[in-house]
Each structure stands twice: as structure tokens, then as C-alpha cells.
Structure 1
């Protein structure tokens, strides 16, 4: 079709792109506050380096792998290397009037935050050079095929009996990153003193600031995924407010019952759990569905973060307990709560409804299968990448570096003068 610019839609997606990019510095504060003083710069740099590397490879070739034409594991990169000649096409196939390069930028921010999320599972002990190389390989071989399968009509999306509803990234972003985080945590092993000595967050105000920035940016993440400034984007926007609110309340209630006190760390973590769970469902559920998904995710994730102590894996900053568990909750619960009676720009009236809204078990099965495909693919490929790095350049710092502080050893600086 001929491309006709829609300035309103274009302006909204440019703003949404900036909001999503802000999420990664927000994540740096969130994760940075959760680690100990001697690791805060390294933790924050793992988020920032993800912006640097993924932004570059995305425009060179990864966008084509993720969103280029084709029904295979990868999209075709033909004509998309460096995106030359791509500036004047609509590129969306939906006639919403957004230049293709705006779409490229928006999707780049999704890839960036997905990679950065993984870093929370490897805090205090992964070589910075190995992490930097991992970001490039992983976004190419793991993120791109899953994004292509779910959003680009690729092979990994063909296993489900119906369309897998993933409005803004439950499988592509959160399940994907959560599984990768678990695999890397297992490959690296536990931190020295894990389970025996306290490893408390060094700066809870950082954590709360980070959660606030994440929430702020997430409105672009979810509402922007509609690709238009319309009523569906408005529904996604509202649900992105509602679900984290009730998720945080549910997390604090679990803490109050279990530990006797609701904590700031719990409130901040509950916000993120709710954001994660509503992401795949943002424009596919009504307000009651958003409240239910948020409450369930907040309570279950609050309990799931302690599983690492029971099973002995050192998921340092709860990537598994929040992003994997929350992503699965949001994805699977769509099989019950999806409500598309009024239709959207991407789904016909009622055809993908969940069990509570007149649908049958087909959609629930599709959601479960979609989650399982993402888990298996991400787990296997991340394991291969991790093992390759482990037995070539090595992935874990020396014990003396971990004890003394990874900031000084890896970056030659510390966050606070008193840490010297």
C-alpha cells in the first residue's frame, strides 16, 4: 500500500520509544540499588552496555533477523543490512502511517531491555567482557528468533493451535530473559557466601527510584505496542496502571503475613511483578482481568523469589522469581481472562477469548504452548552460548575479585569514596 504519514500515531510512537529506552537506565538503578556497595557500578554498567551493543547490532543486522520476511527461525536480512533504503516505507503492514525507521527504533528498545534484564541473575560475579560479548550473541541467536516467531510470523510461533496473545512481550521479553537468567546463574554458580551471609541491598532509595522509572517507561512499552494513539492503546495504558498497583499491594500483604512487616523492597518488586504479568495482556483484558492478573502475580512472585534458597541456584536479583514466573503467569492467565469481544486492530471480535469470557480451551492451550516453546528455546540456546563462553574466554571473575569488589577490578573505580 502507499504510505501516508499519520503524524499523531508517529508522534506517539516516538514518545513511546523514548519511554521504553528510559526503562533500561531505570533498571540500572533498580538493580544497582539491590547489590552491595562494591558491585553497584558493575551492575549498572551491565545495563548500559546492553544499550550500547544492542543498539548497534540491531540496526546492522538483528532487526532483519527478527522482523524481516520469512516463516523460518529467522527473518530474511536481505535489503535490511544497515537499513539503507528503508526510511520511506510504512513497514508495518497495518496502514497506521508510521515510518518504518520509527518501528525499528521502538523495537530496538525492547531488545535492549530484554538483554539488560538478564544481568540481574549474574550480579557480583560475571566478567564484564564475557557479559558484553554475551549481549551480542544472545540478542542475535535467542531474542531475534523468538521475536520473529511471536511477532513476525516465524517458525517458533507455529507450534500453537491458535494465535499466542503476547501484546507487548510476556514470552519475547520476560519469559525469555527469565530463562536465560536461570541458565547463566546455574553456569556461574553461587556467589561466595550465598545463603550464609547477608547480601542486602545497599541503597533502597535507588531501588524505589528504579521501579518508578520502570513503571513510567512501561506505559510506552505496553501502550506503544498498539502502534497507534487509539482506544486500544488507552486500554493498555490503564491496565499498566492498575495491575502493578494491586500487585504491589498483594506482595506487601504476603510480606506482612509471612515476615510481619511490609518493605520498600517488596513494594518496588511488586510493582515490577505486576508490570511483567500485565505485559502480554495489556490490551487483551478488561479492568477486572488486569486486577486479577496483577493480584495473582504479586502474591505468587513474592513467594517465588525464595525458591532460590530452597533449590540452591543464585538468581542474585530475582530475575527468575519475578520475570520468568511473572511472565508465565501473565501469558497463561490470558487463557482465562482474555476479553476481545469488541475486537482490536490485531484480533477479531471474541475469536481469542479466554475461558472466563466465552472462549474454549484452544486459547489456553496456545498460551501454555507459547510459554513452553519460549522456555525450551531460550534455555537450550542460552546454555549453548554460556558453555561456549565459559570454555573459551571464561565467564566468572576470580574469587579474590569477587571478595574485594568487582567494581574496582573490572572498571578501576568505585561508586563511593568510603568503599576504597
Structure 2
């Protein structure tokens, strides 16, 4: 066992775990004050559901020996329950249990990313059902394609993208970001637009958005760097590239905002950071530090322009999961075909480094496969859950607010409403409190928003 690398992956795992509250705060700050608790619960709820499935059969589906050696799905029973990992493996550089929990966090965060696309209008129970089905039928198979490599002795067959196609995806541009983004698009098309869209309440707490983005940036060093699965030069280069791309993307997004809208906003800067992190995820081990700056800059320009397309095509992607994660993931994955350098840890030259068009073709094939499979299966899952359980809130519930309707709670108790310990105030009591606050504000000439 490599003790140094084990310690490094333990630390990386803890950093990635912080991305869960980071994502909850990032998303929660962007929604209306009547939906922040529901958004936090959608993130943590998805994590809980997918975490259980990962132990039961998800790890096997991703890293088990591929059925028939074709690279589509791992053996569901090979590691079922993960009991076989407890004793460890004397020949492995890393404890198998550590690899399992590190990769579990990839699965739960990928699924939770989808929540931001349908904020303020989805019922909590059906969302959890969708999250579980999506992880089982979309994430686990695609992660097997991308993350499961053939064993050195040939005794275990992995996924077709990683081995037969040999695409470069260091930390999950396809399996994580493109996968989540295309799943979000399918879900949005089934659920429909929020009442009153495109006119919607502004973010309720931008400092929370900034805090969440900062936590996500911190966690991303573990996400990308830990994907090297060893403490060494590769992980170091990956972390440098992750930092560079994020900085370039923030600046590029702010320039786009300034030129297009006349203002460089906090929300734009934080969105730019996430776009850069998304785009560098597949490319972090494939490009030079200057290449990382280019990846971030391109993502910082393309993603805000892509977000505007939702108004042209009429789909309500609430927190721009499609515009940032789908588009950013595609940008980063394809740019490997242009900017890949054999000097980087992945060791492949792209078009600009004399490698020709071969790598670009490989990257485009992987992208198209994940987009096609992810969209079709995600759409079928969303339709099935919507038809059987009803994903969408009623108009009355949406008007009341998803926090009150689904959780009988409010995030900000502006009047210090008193209620019996161990119980929650009724929706009627909270609405009455809000009405008194509005009347008081109006009487004093203060804004009533």
C-alpha cells in the first residue's frame, strides 16, 4: 500500500465531500427566499438516495467486470453491499474502500447537480425517486464507460469509452457534467416552466452564492487532483490547471457581462468560476498551464452566451445547469482534441500540438454518445415519474412557495414567530405573518417586496 497516496486521497475525499454543502449554498442563494430550503433539501436528499444505491449495487455497476466484455455495464453483484472491500487488498496501492467512497461522491454530486434546473416547482418525494432512477439507469452505466479501465492482467474488462475508444476524460467531463447537464435538459422539458417565467424573483442571498462557489472551488481541487489516484506530479499539474482555468473563466465571463449588459456582477463572477471548473474537469490532465488558461477563457465566453439560448428556445433551466454544465462539459471535452499536449499527464497531442484530428474525433464520439444516451433515458425516466407520481407542484402550491408546501418551513423568520417546540408553524400562520409584515411595511412607506 502506498501510504502517502492513501493519505492524499483521504484528504481529497474530504475536500470533495465539502462540495455537497457548497453546492447546496450555491444553488440555495440563487433561488427565491421561498425556495432556498427546498433547494438545500433536494441536494442533500439526492446525495442520501444515491449514496445508498452506490453501496447496494452502484459501485459494482461502475467498477465490476463488464458484462460480456463489451464495456456497457459492470457486474451488479460483484461488489454488492461492498462487504468484500472491508478486508482490503494487499496488492493494491490504495484501499479499495477508499476508492469506493471517493467515487461515491462523484455519483452523488453528479445527480444533485440536476436539481438546480427545476427549482421552485418540483415535489420533493418524486424528485428523490427521479434521482435514484437516474443514478441507476444513467449515471452508473455512463460512469462505467468512462471511469472503469481494464485491469493490467486483462482479467477485468472496463468501459468502452475508457478502453476501446480511449477518450481523454481525466475527472469526469462526460460522466459528470455533460451527463448531468443533458439529464437536466430532459427533466426541464417534462416539468415545464415556472409560473410567470421568464419574470422571476432575483437571488435571495448573493453572499451565500459566493460562499458556495468558493467551497466548490476548494472541493474541486480534491475532485480533479484526487482523480490522479496518487500523490505526485500528475496530481500537482492537475491542481495547477484547475486553478488557472477558473481564474481565466471568471475574467472572461465578467468581460462578456460588461460588454453585453454594462455591468460585471457578483452572480456572473461566481458562475464564471463554476464554468471554468466544469470545462477543465476533463482537460485538467491533458493540457499545459497555458492551455488551461485557454480552456477557462473559452468556457467563460461560451457559457454565458449559451445561457441566453433558454430564452430563445423557451426552456426554463432555473439555475443554468444546461448552460454551464452541459455546455461547459462539451467545451472542455472537445478542447482536449485541440489543446491536448503529450507533455501533460494524459500524454496525448491534440490538433494544435501536431496530433492531427484523431483525438478530436475520439472526444467528439464520446461526447455524442453520452449526450444521446443521457437525453433519451433521462427523458423516459422523467416522463415515467411525472405520469405516475406527478413531479410538478400545483399552481396553488407554487404560489404559496415550495418551502412551505413541501417542508412546512421558511428560511427567514422575519417576525420571530413563536410556535410550540417540536412542531412547525402551519402554512396559514406563516402566510398571516407575512401579510402583517407587508401591511406594516406599506404603512411606513418601506418596500414590501
Q: Is the 8 A contact 1:9 1:96 kept in 2?
A: no
Equivalent position of 1:80 in the other structure: 79
Alpha-carbon distance in structure 2 between the residues aligned to 1:155 and 1:84: 21
Deviations 1:202-234 (A, max 9, x none): 110011011000000000000000000000000
**Shift of the alpha carbon at 1:265?**
0.1
Alpha-carbon distance in structure 2 between the residues aligned to 1:26 and 1:396: 26
Alpha-carbon distance in structure 2 between the residues aligned to 1:133 and 1:378: 17
Equivalent position of 1:99 in the other structure: 95
Equivalent position of 1:188 in the other structure: 191
Equivalent position of 1:403 in the other structure: 399
**Shift of the alpha carbon at 1:244?**
0.6
**Secondary structure of 2:283's aligned partner:** coil
Structure 1, gaps ≥5 residues long: none
Deviations 1:8-55 (A, max 9, x none): 101110111111111121010000000001001001111111221111
Q: Is the 8 A contact 2:283 2:332 kept in 1?
A: yes
Q: Is the 8 A contact 1:36 1:199 kept in 2?
A: yes
Equivalent position of 1:306 in the other structure: 308
Alpha-carbon distance in structure 2 between the residues aligned to 1:396 and 1:11: 45
**Shift of the alpha carbon at 1:90?**
4.2
* From 163, 166, 181, the counterpart of 1:163: 166
**Shift of the alpha carbon at 1:157?**
2.8
Confirm or deny that 1:243 pairs with 2:245: yes
* From 350, 373, 398, the counterpart of 2:369: 373
Equivalent position of 2:437 in the other structure: none
**Secondary structure of 2:397's aligned partner:** helix
Moved over 3 A (4+): 88-91, 153-156, 158-162
Alpha-carbon distance in structure 2 between the residues aligned to 1:203 and 1:309: 24
Equivalent position of 2:53 in the other structure: 57
Alpha-carbon distance in structure 2 between the residues aligned to 1:109 and 1:144: 13
CA RMSD in angstroms comes to: 1.7
Deviations 1:45-89 (A, max 9, x none): 111112211111111111101111113421002331111122334
Alpha-carbon distance in structure 2 between the residues aligned to 1:31 and 1:313: 19
TM-score by length of 2: 0.88
After TM superposition, the structure 1 = structure 2 runs for residues 263-274 of structure 1, keeping only pairs within 5 Å, are 263-274=265-276
Confirm or deny that 1:330 pairs with 2:332: yes
Alpha-carbon distance in structure 2 between the residues aligned to 1:96 and 1:76: 20
Which structure has the larger Rg over C-alpha atoms?
2
* From 176, 197, 202, the counterpart of 1:200: 202
Equivalent position of 1:221 in the other structure: 223
Alpha-carbon distance in structure 1 between the residues aligned to 2:300 and 2:320: 13
**Shift of the alpha carbon at 1:162?**
4.0
**Secondary structure of 2:121's aligned partner:** coil
Count how many residue pairs are aligned between Structure 1 and Structure 2.
406
Q: Is the 8 A contact 2:217 2:277 kept in 1?
A: yes
Alpha-carbon distance in structure 2 between the residues aligned to 1:40 and 1:311: 27
Equivalent position of 1:234 in the other structure: 236
